[in-house]
Amino acid sequence: MSRPGTARSAPVPRGAGEVRIIGGQWKRTRLKVPDRPGLRPTPDRVRETLFNWLGQDLTGWHCLDAFAGTGALGLEAASRGAAAVLLVEQDAALAAALQQHQQRLQATQVRVQRGDGLAALRQAPPGSLHLVLLDPPFDAPALFAPALQAAAQALAADGYVYLEAPAAWDEAALAACGLRVHRYLKAGAVHAHLLQRIGLVVNTTASSSSNAGAGASSALCSLSQQTMPRASLTPP
C-alpha cells in the first residue's frame, strides 16, 4: 500500500519472501515462504553464528523446531546432518510451505506437524532431544517460560536449547526454567541465547500436585525475566 503523498510504495528488498539455507548439504538453497503477519525469519548472521557455536556437524542429532515459521532453523539443522527434525507450526499456510520444502529437498529426516509447539515439546520423551529450537512470536510473551521449561524436560543431558527473544533473559530467570546460558548474541532486535540444562526440572506433565508446582515454577521463570537485573552475558 502506498503512503499518503507518494506515487508508489517502497521497493521490496531482494530476497523478501524467501529464506536461504547457509550451510550443509543444501547450502545456498533458497526457499520461498508465504507472506504472513508477524513472520520474522532468523537473520543469516544469527543462524551462521548459532551453527558455529554448535560445531557445524549435527550428525545423529534429534531436533525439534517448536515454532518453525519459515523452517529456516530446523532445515538448517537437517542440512548439517541431523538424524531427525520435527518442524511444528500452527499457521496452516506456513505448515503447507514447510511440507513443500520437505518434499522439494527430499528431506526424509524432516517431519512437518501442524499444531501447537508447546504441546509438542511437552509430548517429547524426557531426555530425547539434542537440540530444541525456540523462536516464539515476540508478541506472545506468555509462551516463553512454559516453552523453556518444557524444552529443558525434553533435552538430553548434553543437549542445547536455542532461544530467540525480544530481550535478554538473565541467569536467574533461566535458572528458574532449569537452564543456563552457554552463548549469547544480540543482533538488531534479536537476542539469541544458546542454553544448556542445569540439573533436574519440575515435571510439567505429572500429577495434579506436580502441576501446581510446575505452575509456580513457570510463574517464577516468567516473573524473573521481567523483574530481576539483567545478567552480563558474554558474546562469543
For 229, other C-beta atoms within 10 Å of its C-beta total 8
pLDDT(113) > 60: yes
What pLDDT is recorded for position 18?
A: 85
SS3 content of the chain, % helix, strand, coil (to 5): 35, 25, 40
Tell me the helices (H) and strands (E) count for the chain, helix number first: 7, 9
**Paired sense of beta strands 155-165 and 129-134, if any:** parallel
What pLDDT is recorded for position 33?
A: 84
pLDDT(226) > 60: no
Instruction: Let me know: does 176 contact 221? Beta carbons within 8 Å.
Output: yes
Higher pLDDT, 232 or 220: 220
Higher pLDDT, 38 or 167: 167
**pLDDT per position as a tens digit, 183-216:** 999 998 899 999 999 964 444 433 333 333 334 3
What pLDDT is recorded for position 216?
A: 39
Q: Which whole number is the average pLDDT over 54-70?
A: 96
What pLDDT is recorded for position 42?
A: 86
- Which ranges of the chain does DSSP label H, i.e. alpha helix? 44-54, 72-79, 92-105, 117-123, 144-154, 171-176, 208-227
Res. 40 pLDDT band, cuts 50 70 90 = confident
Nine-digit cell at 12?
Answer: 521490496
Q: Which residues lie below 8 Å from residue 95, measured CB to CB, with a gap of 6+? A: 89, 112, 113, 114
Q: What is the CATH number of domain 43-227?
A: 3.40.50.150
Q: Report which DSSP code applies to 204.
A: T
What pLDDT is recorded for position 199?
A: 63
Q: Where are the domains of the chain?
A: 43-227
* Residue 77 to residue 103: CA distance in whole angstroms: 16
Q: Which residues lie below 8 Å from residue 122, measured CB to CB, with a gap of 6+? A: 150, 153, 204, 205
**pLDDT per position as a tens digit, 7-24:** 333 333 333 488 899 999
Nine-digit cell at 112?
Answer: 512437518
- pTM of the entire structure? 0.80
Share of the chain above pLDDT 70, in %: 77
Q: Which whole number is the average pLDDT over 50-67?
A: 96
Rg over CA atoms, the chain: 18
What pLDDT is recorded for position 7?
A: 34
**pLDDT per position as a tens digit, 133-157:** 999 999 899 999 999 999 999 999 9
Supply the mean pLDDT for the chain: 82
Sheet holding 190-197, edge to edge: 110-114, 84-89, 62-65, 129-134, 155-165, 190-197, 179-187
Q: Which whole number is the average pLDDT over 38-44?
A: 82
What pLDDT is recorded for position 221?
A: 67
Q: Which whole number is the average pLDDT over 27-48?
A: 87
pLDDT(4) > 60: no
Q: What value, to the nearest 5°, has the Cα angle with vertex 69 and ends 65 and 70?
A: 105
Phi, psi of 106 (to 5 degrees): 55, 45
